[in-house]
Amino acid sequence: MSAVAIPGVDRILFTEEQIEARIRDLAGEISEHYRGKTVKLVGVLKGSIFFLTALARHLEVPVKMDFLGISSFSNKSGAPGVVRIAKDLDESIEGEDVLLVEDIVDTGFTLRYLLQTLAGRGPNSLSVCTFLDRNSRRIVQVPVDFRCFEIPDRFVVGFGLDYNQLYRNLGCVAVMKVERGG
């Protein structure tokens, strides 16, 4: 699907070609880091799927994968940051070298929750790889070991990221015309 024809899309931030090239580089870095080990990619549904599969194809170490689904919502005072696991992993991560794969790290609430939860399950190691990083909006400090792109404070869609569940299948990352609500 081409982004140019989509109503609501302002401009393309990263083209399919730029994404592919950057993922290949990042996969090289990650392969180096896990040399001699098997990495278990843990994908956060649904946003990270496109990134995870693209990354996995370029990794040069043995790869396992598992997925979890979360739901996040605001608490009564309207503050963000309440996260829970809606669909858990199929298998144990005890003793595994886990690489948590996210679509985007924004405020950091989701990642903090996931890291706390997964760390309690006894992995041999636990690292984080995110497709996009919007560091300017961080509220809680979280470790990000690998990132594809740093992005400006604009709402983006494509390559897994959605707006009301739409646009995930765009090959590029595009900036939405609508300003984010807050």
- Active site members: 106
Q: How far is the CB of 47 from ligand IMP (least distance, A)?
A: 5
Instruction: Give yes or no for a contact between 39 and 97, defined as CB atoms under 8 angstroms apart.
Output: yes
Does the protein bind ligand IMP through residue 167 (CB under 6 A)? no
- Rank residues 27 and 156 by Cβ distance to ligand IMP and give the closer one: 156
Q: Residue 124 and residue 102: Cα distance in Å, rounded?
A: 20
Give the one residue of 12, 23, 43, 47 binding Mg ion; rule: CB under 5 A: 47
Alpha-carbon gap, residue 38 to 24, rounded angstroms:
19
Residue 108 engages Mg ion in binding (rule: CB under 5 A): no
Helix-helix angle 49-58:16-33, to 10 degrees: 60
The encoded tokens of residue 24 equal 């290949």
DSSP per-residue string spanning 77-88: TS-S-EEEEEE-
Q: Please give the residues from 15 up to 54 whose contact with ligand IMP meets the rule CB under 6 A.
A: 47
User: Restricting to residues 157-176, which ones interact with Mg ion according to CB under 5 A?
Assistant: none
What's the closest the beta carbon of residue 157 comes to ligand IMP, in angstroms?
Answer: 6
Residue 71 CA to residue 110 CA, distance in Å, equals 9
Binding site for ligand IMP (CB under 6 A): 47, 102-111, 155-157, 161-162
Binding site for Mg ion (CB under 5 A): 47, 103
